[in-house]
């Protein structure tokens, strides 16, 4: 099968806003026939940025790994 990386739009029938639940991550994986889903968020506080990424298992949506990094500007 296709082992490339691609962006998958959340389904219009889903909840508004970012996909933050295990149910949403599993649904995205199923919609895109993906083994894994990467999600993230960026927090901005004045001149500081913090990026957090989560790797979700595509079968059940559970978080397999989380990484955060900050960048003061």
- Per-residue pLDDT reduced to its tens digit, 21-72: 888 888 888 888 889 999 888 999 998 999 999 999 999 999 999 999 998 8
| Cβ burial 4-37 (10 Å sphere, 16+ → b, else e) | eeeeeeeeeeeeeeebeeeebbbbbbeeeebeeb
Identify the band that residue 10 occupies on the pLDDT scale cut at 50, 70 and 90.
Answer: low
Backbone angles phi, psi at 27, to 5 degrees: -65, -40
Q: Token match 């199923």: residue?
A: 30
């Amino acid at each position: 099968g296709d082992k490339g990386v691609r962006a998958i739009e959340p389904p219009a029938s889903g909840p508004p806003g970012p996909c933050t639940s295990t149910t949403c991550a599993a649904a995205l994986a199923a919609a895109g026939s993906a083994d894994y889903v990467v999600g993230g968020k960026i927090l901005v506080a004045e001149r500081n940025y913090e990026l957090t990424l989560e790797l979700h298992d595509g079968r059940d949506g559970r978080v397999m790994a989380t990484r955060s990094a900050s960048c003061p500007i």
